[in-house]
Amino acid sequence: MELAGLFFAFILASAIAVSMIAASFLFGPKIKNSLKNSPFECGMPPAQKPAVYLSNNFYKAALLLIVFDIEAVLLYPWAVSFKSLGTGAFYSGFIFIAVLSAALFYAVKRGFLKWD
């Protein structure tokens, strides 16, 4: 009886998805041409190339920050309950730390942290 709710939610979600696709075919544009098939972008076309190109150093630093913040969030509960978890938890935590250390060494080797 517990699966009945899950089954009902799946059926409802499927019906909504199918009805949206059917509505797009019913009410969507019928005439195809190159203008309607082209992607829409708002704004004016650029008059000239930009004078300054921004580097992606901030993007790379933000990605590294997210990766290592998630590492800290995941390692804290593991460290708090370490004694009661057993040897399997030790090896899985060791593998997790080893993979993230490899990611850090890769980032340093590729120069992600250089601010030229």
Q: For residue 49, what are its two tokens?
A: 């190339």
Residue 57 scores a pLDDT above 70: yes
- Provide Rg for the chain, Cα atoms: 26
Residue 87: name the closest of 98, 95, 75, 76 by CA.
95
Q: Which pLDDT band, with edges at 50, 70 and 90, does 22 fall under?
A: very high
Return the pLDDT at 18: 97
Q: Which pLDDT band, with edges at 50, 70 and 90, does 20 fall under?
A: very high
Q: Which pLDDT band, with edges at 50, 70 and 90, does 1 fall under?
A: low
Q: Which pLDDT band, with edges at 50, 70 and 90, does 44 fall under?
A: low
Distances in Å between the alpha carbon of 74 and those of 5, 69, 84, 85, 86?
A: 32, 9, 17, 15, 17
Which residue type does 57 have?
N
Residue 73 scores a pLDDT above 80: yes
Distances in Å between the alpha carbon of 86 and those of 11, 46, 73, 98?
A: 42, 61, 20, 19
Mean pLDDT value across residues 42-68: 78
